Chains A and B, each alone.
Chain A
Amino acid sequence: MHISVALLLELGIILAFLGLLGTLARRFALSPVPLYLLVGLALGEGGIAPVPAAGSFVETGAGIGVVLLLLVLGLEFTVPEFTVSLRRHLPSAWVDLVLNATPGAVAGWLLGLDAGGILALAGVTYISSSGIIARLLGDLRRMSNRETPAVLSVLVLEDFAMAAYLPLLAVVAAGGTWQQALLGVLLALGAVVAALTMSYWWGHHLGRLLSHPDEEQLLLRVLGVTLIVSALAEAVHVSAAVGAFLVGLSLTGEAADRARKVLSPLRDLFAAVFFLAIGLSIPPDSLLPVLPVALLLAVVTAATKVASGWYAARREGAGRRGRLRAGTALIARGEFSIVIIGLMGTGHDRLGALVAAYVLLLAVAGPVITRFTGPRASGTKHSPRQGTPVP
């Protein structure tokens, strides 16, 4: 077997560099997502250091990255968490959807994008990054705060809305008619309901089928089934990501816990490759012209997220400071906005550049703003330790 020296070397250098940047990002409690995008931008055509040999791996790996992102998201999901969130926070979820999808849709319309582009941009501004936010709240030690359950519930409902949204987008982006789109959504919703029902009644059977005391066996089985289901979903134009999400949803209990544990490192690796690939596909010089629009959109949608978080926290009975903390926590956009752009594929270059710039801005600004609305600003009387950043 011939091993390509160039591939190993390029990939090795890229991964080591990403690791270094990730360490830096963690030190400032920032998300590594924007850094991976930036590295991708720098390595792409017209960038500072092109990597021809690693390109094919990155391209293949990116597809697997999307599938793993959604699979692990589905594994995180439990039916009781969803139903409790739905019962308590449905009005907050509506407010969140209307306030945040509208600016994206309006911007898309003003920019003269087609239906797929408008829908994509609406999704991009709607979906907060549950990954960044959950981690941030843990780092800032806000898990026991009054507003936190409301924030987390809104995130769960957003993630769930993605299951209906992604197939809709996949159909519209492929140039399908509205009837086809509707059919696609109904198909996807039916599949989600079926997956949830199955996981509720027969989840343990499926778990027994896939799980195995040996971790290697578990990994191979879950990954194998997920890739097959994703491929089938892609073949019927429901999108591979939704297929993977469904597999994640169907697995519950101990099987899901163990699967999450063995898959998470793999997800982290391939998700990084995915963000890199998105960066690679965008010519760096296309970023500058879209920057004013991205900045404006970022400011507007940061404000609308604050409003929706404010509303959700008020329904939980949190005070003004709690409402502000909830609102600012929701600002960060990240992985799923990028997933949406990945789904749109080529042919939407301007949109890709706009969304990349938008996510770069908000994935960095979100955590910073959230941190500054913490106890330091609230001026609580006790203990100076509260004000110091958590390492």
Chain B
Amino acid sequence: MDVNEVLLPGVGLLYEFVNREGDKIGVVARRSGDFELAVYEEGDPDQARAVFRLTGEEADVVADILGAPRIAERFADLTKEVPGLSAGQVEVLAGTPFAGRPLGESRARTRTGASIVAIVRGEDVIPSPGPEQILRAGDVLVVIGTREGIAAVEQLVRS
């Protein structure tokens, strides 16, 4: 997909692209950190209709929602490029020992050699979770390591 980048001197940047349905979409990224989304009238690229504005914080939330399903995929893509490395997803089931306990207590990396690089929780993604991160039932752990390592994490969490 081609994204056209236009400089708005003193204001920021305007990104323009056309989606599969043929709508031309503009995103204004202001220097202040705010964003504005606009669509263009059919056949008239001069006149944009501003759809909504987002503060930097709101834009982060939208980006997370749109990006969450893709995070695991992206890790999977990454591991294809490194032979011997795989990515896997391990769900924390209710009633298993680590549900409700900090990630650090699993001592997953020390015991299996595989790393937990992200936690997908509903529509949120917690990237690079720290050892103090409390796991919840239903969390999906994104694990990177050898196949054996990932299997060992699965066993550890499920036991």
Contacts and interface: CB of A to CB of B under 8 A. Distances in A.
A388 interface: no
Interface of B, secondary structure class, is: strand
Interface in A322-339: 322
Contacts of A134: 10-11
B10 A130 contact: yes
B38 A144 contact: yes
Contact of B36 (A81, A143, A146): A143
- Of the listed residues A80, A144, A380, the one surrounded by the most CB atoms of chain B closer than 10 A to its CB is A144
Q: Which of B16, B40, B45 has the most CB of A within 10 A?
A: B45
Interface string B43-63: 011111110000000000000
B8 A149 contact: yes
Q: Size class of B's contact patch? A: 20 to 34
A81 B48 CA distance: 23
Interface string B19-57: 000000010101100001010110011111110000000
A147 to B, nearest CB: 6
Interface stretch (A151-159, A198-206, A267-275): A151-159
Looking at chain A's contact residues, is the secondary structure mostly helix, strand, loop, or mixed?
helix
Contact of B47 (A80, A143, A375): A375
A36 to B, nearest CB: 22
Contact of B10 (A152, A380, A381): A152
Contacts of A381: 41
List of 10 A-B pairs having minimum Cβ-Cβ separation, nearest first: A141-B50, A144-B48, A322-B46, A144-B26, A144-B38, A146-B46, A156-B9, A81-B9, A152-B9, A143-B28
A23 to B, nearest CB: 21
B9 A380 contact: no
Given A141-B36, A141-B38, A146 B10 contact: no
A135 B49 CA distance: 17
Nearest to A148: B8
Interface of A: 76, 80-82, 84-85, 130, 134, 138, 141-149, 152-153, 155-156, 257, 318-319, 321-322, 375, 378, 380-383, 386
Interface in B133-156: none
A76 B10 contact: yes
B7 interface: yes
A380 B44 contact: yes
Contacts of B6: 149
B76 interface: no
B47 A321 contact: yes
Contact of A380 (B7, B11, B14, B47): B47
B7 A382 contact: no
A130 B41 CA distance: 27
B30 to A, nearest CB: 8
A80 B9 CA distance: 9
B19 to A, nearest CB: 15
B103 to A, nearest CB: 31
17 contacts: A76-B10, A84-B9, A85-B9, A134-B11, A144-B26, A144-B50, A145-B46, A146-B45, A148-B14, A149-B7, A149-B9, A152-B8, A156-B9, A322-B46, A378-B47, A380-B44, A382-B49
Contacts of B47: 145-146, 321-322, 375, 378, 380
A130 B9 CA distance: 11
A155 to B, nearest CB: 7
